[in-house]
Amino acid sequence: MAYFIEAAKAYARKEKYHFHIESAEQSYAVESELIIVSLTNSVGGFEKLAPEAEVNDGLFHVFVVSDSTLIERTKLLPQLFSGQVSQNEGLLAFQTNKVAIASDDAILKSNVDGDPDDHLPLHLEVLPSHLKVFVPEKTSNK
């Protein structure tokens, strides 16, 4: 729920910043009030943000709310969190395994899991098979 609250706060402020976004595939120069980067389909308890996302797909699911009218913004956030939104003029959505986000406008802080985190620029990369996970052997139920 902290994600949704922070997103709603940023959205309500209507402060837009110029961002430079570099993915492994493409570069973007955008003006935005809200950028969401997720590894799964769930953000803040909303499990439909990226319905196609899989925990092990190795991709970031990036959503950039860009320049839009007040009416579009009012409709977009609920659609986004219900998974009912597609590409439109007010939203840039893409998937990538590597992304960098920077802004020249101001000193901006990121928000991770609902908590304030590092200042921009951010450099994010999915590192497949980077962690070793040990799972106990199955035991028979007798």
In the chain, the amino acid numbered 103 is: S
CATH number given to 2-125 = 2.60.200.40
- Selection from 32, 15, 9, 42 nearest residue 92 by Cα: 32
pTM over the 0.85 mark: no
Reported as a single tens digit per residue, the pLDDT across 40-80 is 877 766 676 777 878 888 999 998 987 666 666 666 666 66
Domain range summary for the chain, segments of one domain joined by +: 2-125
Contact 50/7 with Cβ under 8 angstroms?
no
- 68 burial type by CB count under 10 A (0-12 exposed, 13-18 middle, 19+ buried): middle
Contact 43/77 with Cβ under 8 angstroms?
no
Phi, psi (degrees; rounded to nearest 5) at 123: -125, 110
